Structure 1
Amino acid sequence: MTKSSLKNCTGLHVVAQTPFRADGALDLDSIDTLSAFYYGHGARGLTVLGVSGEQGKLTPDECIATAARFIAAANGHRIIVGVSSPGLAQLVTVTHQVMAEGADAVMICPPRGTQTDDDLMRYFDEVFACIGDTPTVLQDFPVHSGVKMSPTLIRRLVEAFPQIGVIKEEDLPSITKITRLREELGTSVRILTGNNGLYLPQELARGADGPMAGFSFPEMLSGVDDLMRNGDREGAHDLFDRYLPLLRYEAQGEWGIAIRKEVMRQRGAMECAALRAPGPVLTALDRAEIRSMIDRMGLEFKFDNKSAA
């Protein structure tokens, strides 16, 4: 396979949460309900084991098991697996395993230490020498990786490595970076956006092909994308604005992921809202604040009375 397998990678690709049990063990059973939740709210595919999917807290075997369960539940939807790692050996091993399980592509963010353009070209030369023609999403997320990639360098990477079919653009300001990337790349690759969806209408207006983000109400992300795609910019902004208080509230790093998982637990997407340690644990005050916010937003969603895990 080459990047041609990613040429139709448009629309919402949710960055999936990884469900755990209260004791920190993987909850593979909840992957089935979680997948159905995402697809029922407009996801065309999932990106599993991303940053907000707590990939860094899983062993390689757990990464493979998690990806395999999402693949089994895909029901024809695209599955992209995050395989970024400080070490090339783990990246290569996990890539081969998840592709053998049936993943459609992998996502790679360059590791810290690859600072110059020459460093980055050498790094990806080594990567693709090992993983061959695996379809790849290139993640541009310098806040997380510490690695800056200019639009000119990204064009060089895309030209040198046709396996790269999608850029996940998260370099702020993302809207101007998307404009520059379209100038450099035209429509030769797809551009999906992250950053929790905080700038989604503007990013789509600049030429992004859809969101690759996590949010406890993914129907907003897919809805905004559909409205923009159909030329209804006012409707897209109206829908986005309705959810903005909670979207902003979730955009608080790992604590925001805890908020997101709790809301999704309450929506029936997963059994337990726990993050794997080390990670934040919500208090009763935190949960009351979430309930108050969602009530004020007038969303059609009622919290249950279960204690949060």
Structure 2
Amino acid sequence: MADIVSMRECRGLHVVAQTPFREDGALDLDSIDTLSAFYYKHDAQGLTVLGVSGEQGKLTPDECIAVAARFVRAAQGKRIIVGVSSPGIAQLVAVAQQVMAEGASGVMICPPAGTQTDEELLRYFDIIFARIGDTPTVLQDFPGHSGVKMSPSLIRRLVETFPQIAVVKEEDLPSVTKITRLRAELGYKVRILTGNNGLYLPQELARGADGPMAGFSFPEMLSGVYDLMSRGESEAAHRLFNTYLPLLRYEAQGEWGIAIRKEVMRQRGAMECAVLRAPGPTLNAVDMAEIGDMIARMEIGFQFDTRTLGR
């Protein structure tokens, strides 16, 4: 259970990593190295790979394992959590077992669409953990994607029944009230990390979240807001957050927003190519110019903000 104990210490920024592809849609494993270095340079304490915005659903199981293994290789001692959610239990279990064998720190599982009752969810995770054993697990609460609603009391039952669950990734809306209720139900038995691309981060941290698990293209904002809030510097945290809010909002546009995020990160030198694997949107010249203008505005705003905050 030592790895589960370690996972329960998750705090700070755990970036939801993008999956790099080449122009023809093939995996770009080399860019995983530059992408990882980019995230760690901006104070990521770990990465969550093959999440929803990591385009996991477009990869084969073998590709998922190859991507996870490359992120593990580039991890610099940081946590690598691998999204293994799948409609099929056999595929979920096989990928989970293999990525753990490759050195992953844990897996992230979102309940499958169509699961409706508390008893169905308990039975589902009973089957999963009977097969993956003591694998440290992040429970992803993301009904906007899965369609599955989990009440705070159900999440408490899951945590108490399955000690492998060390972290809850909270993405239900309104996330702030859900976090308050989860803290009342769970105390600090598990960590709570937040998603939704960091859109509500200052308020979520104030409600007791342990950090962001988000993929915003300026991860230095996510880690900076967390650090400031941790030091009790709420006003400074809000000012830093507000500097990036225009781009943060611009990225919050579903799959098109993922294309934007990847292009921002390409322009920032994090990876060679910004393409999404098909099916997915393609940005045009007007989109590219608009994104370049927003990046320039974010960089100017950050320089001004760091000077005024004395960072």
Q: How does 1:107-146 map to 2 (within 5 A)?
A: 107-146=108-147
Q: How does 1:1-309 map to 2 (within 5 A)?
A: 1=1, 3-297=4-298, 298-299=300-301
**Does the Cα contact within 8 Å between 2:12 and 2:212 map onto a contact in 1?**
yes
Q: Give the Cα separation in 1 of the matches to 2:113 and 2:178.
A: 21
Bigger mean CA deviation after superposition, 87-96 or 289-298? 289-298
Q: SS at 1:172's partner residue?
A: coil
1:7 shift after superposition: 1.8
Q: Give the Cα separation in 2 of the matches to 1:49 and 1:285.
A: 29
Q: Given the two structures, how large is their TM-score scaled by the length of structure 1?
A: 0.96
Q: SS at 1:23's partner residue?
A: coil
1:288 shift after superposition: 1.4
Q: SS at 1:29's partner residue?
A: helix
Q: Give the Cα separation in 1 of the matches to 2:116 and 2:99.
A: 28
Q: Give the Cα separation in 2 of the matches to 1:161 and 1:261.
A: 36
Instruction: Give the unaligned 5+ runs of structure 1.
Output: 302-309
> How many aligned residue pairs are there?
301
Q: SS at 1:246's partner residue?
A: helix
**Does the Cα contact within 8 Å between 2:202 and 2:225 map onto a contact in 1?**
yes
1:232 shift after superposition: 0.2
Q: Give the Cα separation in 2 of the matches to 1:284 and 1:248.
A: 21
Q: Give the Cα separation in 2 of the matches to 1:291 and 1:76.
A: 33
1:74 shift after superposition: 0.2
1:287 shift after superposition: 1.0
User: What RMSD in Å do the two structures reach over aligned CA positions?
Assistant: 1.0
Q: Given the two structures, how large is their TM-score scaled by the length of structure 2?
A: 0.95
Whichever residue aligns with residue 81 of structure 1, its letter is: V
Q: Closer, same or farther in 2 for the Cα pair 1:300/1:152, shift >3 Å? A: closer
In the TM superposition, what whole-angstrom CA distance separates every residue of 1:221-280 from its partner, at most 9, and x where no partner exists?
000000000100000000000000000000111100000000100111000000000000
Q: Give the Cα separation in 2 of the matches to 1:56 and 1:296.
A: 33
1:52 shift after superposition: 0.2
Q: Give the Cα separation in 2 of the matches to 1:300 and 1:151.
A: 37
**Does the Cα contact within 8 Å between 2:243 and 2:302 map onto a contact in 1?**
no
